[in-house]
Amino acid sequence: FRGGAELLFDGVKKHQVTLPCQPEPWDIRSLLKWIKQNLLKERPELFIQGESVRPGILVLINEADWELMGELDYKLQDQDNVLFISTLHGG
C-alpha cells in the first residue's frame, strides 16, 4: 500500500499474506473482499467501491498495471506481488 493508502491499514505498507484454501482459485475480486474483511482498518469507502477498488487507486500485479492482467478476473499465482497505490491527493 502506497501513496497514502497505507493509512487505511494502520499505516502498514507491506503485508505478506497466505490466503486460506478455497474451492475456486483466488482472483483479485476475492482478494479485495478478503482485504476488506481482514486488513482494512478504517474508511472502506476510500479504498473499495462496489466489488473493485475506488477510482484513483492504481493496482499493480508483479509491477504491471492490472488492466493488462485482466483486472478483477486475474487468477492469483503463488508469490504474486499486488501493490495498491493511491493517486488521490487532498488540497
**Whole-number Å distance between alpha carbons of 74 and 71:** 6
- Of 63, 89, 84, which is closest to residue 1 (Cα–Cα)? 84
Query: Residues 55, 65, 77, CA angle at the centre, nearest 5°?
Result: 110
Helix (H) or strand (E) holding 34: helix 28-38
- Of 43, 88, 90, 48, which is closest to residue 72 (Cα–Cα)? 48
pLDDT for residue 91 is more than 50: no
The pLDDT tens digits of the residues spanning 26-43 come to 999 999 999 999 999 988
The pLDDT tens digits of the residues spanning 16-29 come to 999 999 999 999 99
Averaged pLDDT, 57-66: 96
**pTM, entire model:** 0.87
pLDDT for residue 89 is more than 90: no
- The amino acid at 72: L
Homologous superfamily of the 5-86 domain (CATH): Beta-grasp domain (3.10.20.30)
Listed by start position, the domains of the chain span 5-86
